[in-house]
Amino acid sequence: GGIITQTPKFLIGQEGQKLTLKCQQNFNHDTMYWYRQDSGKGLRLIYYSITENDLQKGDLSEGYDASREKKSSFSLTVTSAQKNEMAVFLCASSIDRGPSQNTLYFGAGTRLSVL
Amino acid sequence: GDSVTQTEGPVTVSESESLIINCTYSATSIAYPNLFWYVRYPGEGLQLLLKVITAGQKGSSRGFEATYNKETTSFHLQKASVQESDSAVYYCALDSNYQLIWGSGTKLIIKP
């Protein structure tokens, strides 16, 4: 088995601040994802990556940057935190692209609060 | 765009009672999308519970079942007799062109 580790677990930022979230996986999976979940809503895809140094935008990519410098890690940057923003960011990985053929495995999440 | 609507929680069920969590979908990009139920147990990450990739088929796992009904565009999750360990948040999702579209989640509380 493997594990997905997201750091930090909790992130408190100031309005306008650039904030970076990190994700590491030891499954040796090719594809990694970043999702955002707002309270009472479903997950929305921000970015995904099908291999090292690849980046693909999801529906929610505006306001975020991502980086996949190594196969095992995928980082997400909030380029300018919005006041009163609160959300949970979930990282996931799968062997390959395509959720129907390749099960997604998720980390525990990073909870963001912006003051 | 594609969307998923599921029972708004929390849903409270007594142990050993039956459960149904409703899920309906709207798919404009594909006629018969693949459908999923994911679950998040307390303190754990989201994990796949079951999936069905053929309309009309039933998926099952851990005592849960869901049948893909293309006529009613539904994929309801059912269990005949719930246990305390089933307390979790359940998410319905569909595959829309290699991206998962998620419902908002249904929190299930089991009364002992």
Residue A86 sits at φ, ψ, to 5 deg, of -140, 125
Closest CA to A21 of A44, A42, A5: A5
| CA separation for the pair A31, A39 (Å, rounded) | 26
- For A9-40, the pLDDT digits (tens) are 999 999 999 999 999 999 999 999 999 999 98
Q: List, edge to edge, every strand of the sheet that includes A64-70.
A: A4-7, A19-25, A73-78, A64-70
- For A71-89, the pLDDT digits (tens) are 999 999 999 999 888 999 9
What mean pLDDT comes out for the span A87-111? 93
| CA separation for the pair B110, B89 (Å, rounded) | 12
| CA separation for the pair A112, A11 (Å, rounded) | 5
Where chain B has pLDDT below 50, the residues are: none
Which two three-digit tokens encode residue A113? 């609060």
Contact partners, residue B35, CB within 8 Å, separation at least 6: B23, B25, B51, B52, B53, B66, B68, B75, B92, B93, B94, B95
Q: Which of A25-29, A97-101, A107-111 has the lowest mean pLDDT?
A: A97-101
Residue type, A70: K
Chain B neighbors of A43, CB-CB under 8 A: 91, 100, 102
Contact B98 A98 (CB under 8 A): yes
Cβ–Cβ contact A111 with B under 8 A:
no
Contact B103 A42 (CB under 8 A): yes
- For B19-38, the pLDDT digits (tens) are 999 999 999 888 889 999 99
